[in-house]
Amino acid sequence: MFKSKKSIDKTYGIIGLGRFGMALAVSLVKAGKEIIAMDYDEERTREIREYTENAYVVTKLDKKALEETGIANCDVVVICIGESIDTSILTTLNVIDLGVRRVIAKASTQDQGKVLQKIGAEVVYPERDMAVRLAQRLVSERLMNYFELYGNINLSELLLSKRVVGKTVAELDIRKKYGLNIIAVERGQQIITDILPDFVFGERDTVIVIGKEEKIREFEGSLEERE
């Protein structure tokens, strides 16, 4: 069983390997993260073992079974059991009681989400969140991706317009004008994270920014104004 974790990186636990849980687990592994994954289904567990040795078939999700897998050693645990509400809530409660610092639970309904929040979990609504992201992309030619972090703070990926090509970060100055911070710039297949004030924007660059939703909208609108 898994007993230790890396000291300099977070370890993630994934409980439930349906479509959402499997996609999450594979994405984390591909991002270089260490995971523990578990499901009651042997075939799903065997599938995830192509990506990690820390994959377990668990028929019961009580505290004892969870402890045996080493899930309490994880920094973040995501409960991906949205359909079985009772199991989802009890598993979430057991993980929280084990002392995991951050617990995220998938919910299928608002009522389920409210209960999960009350017992101390962060809640995600995969279908609703995907629908919101799709709507945002449909109404905007520049918005490539969109993630709501908390409140009205968003992480958004925007395709830059011709009017900013050749300008530097200092010249654009979106921190002062819009209160936005640039996290990274995607240029073709390259992701650039070392964004200095003299960084020059190129044609077809996409910029990943974090900030208030309304300010992101303002910045997006400014890109269209002078094209």
pLDDT in tens, the chain (227 residues): 444 443 347 899 999 998 889 988 988 888 788 999 999 999 999 999 999 999 999 988 999 999 999 999 999 999 998 668 899 999 999 999 999 999 999 998 888 999 999 999 998 887 666 555 545 544 444 555 555 555 567 778 888 888 888 999 999 899 999 999 888 888 887 888 888 999 999 988 888 888 888 888 888 888 865 44
Looking at the structure, tell me whether residues 95 and 146 fall in a common domain. no
Residues 94 and 189 in one domain: no
User: Do 34 and 114 belong together in one domain?
Assistant: yes
**Last-in-domain residue among 97, 124, 151:** 124
pLDDT tens for residues 161-186? 888 889 999 998 999 999 998 888 88
**Dist. CA 24–CA 28, nearest whole Å:** 6
Q: Are residues 113 and 136 in the same domain?
A: no
- Say if residues 205 and 186 touch (Cβ distance below 8 Å): yes
Is residue 44 included in any domain, yes or no? Answer: yes
- Residue 16 CB partners (closer than 8 Å, separation 6+): 38, 39, 79, 80, 81, 106
Contact, 44 vs 17, CB < 8 A?
Answer: yes
For residues 107 and 205, membership in a common domain is answered with: no
Give domain status of residue 4, yes or no.
no
**Residue 3: inside a domain, yes or no?**
no
- For residue 2, is it within any domain? no
Q: Are residues 159 and 198 in the same domain?
A: yes
Give domain status of residue 22, yes or no. yes
Listed residues 107, 124, 141: the one ending a domain = 124
109 and 189 housed in the same domain = no
Domain range for 24 is 11-124
Q: Which CATH number do you get for residue 160? A: 3.30.70.1450
| Cα–Cα nearest to 79, from 131, 114, 123, 32 | 123
Number of domains into which the chain is organized: 2
Whether 5 maps to a domain, the answer reads no
Please check whether residues 28 and 84 belong to one and the same domain.
Answer: yes
CA atoms within 13 A on the CB side of 155: 7
Residues 22 and 119 in one domain: yes
Domain end position, chosen among 124, 159, 179: 124
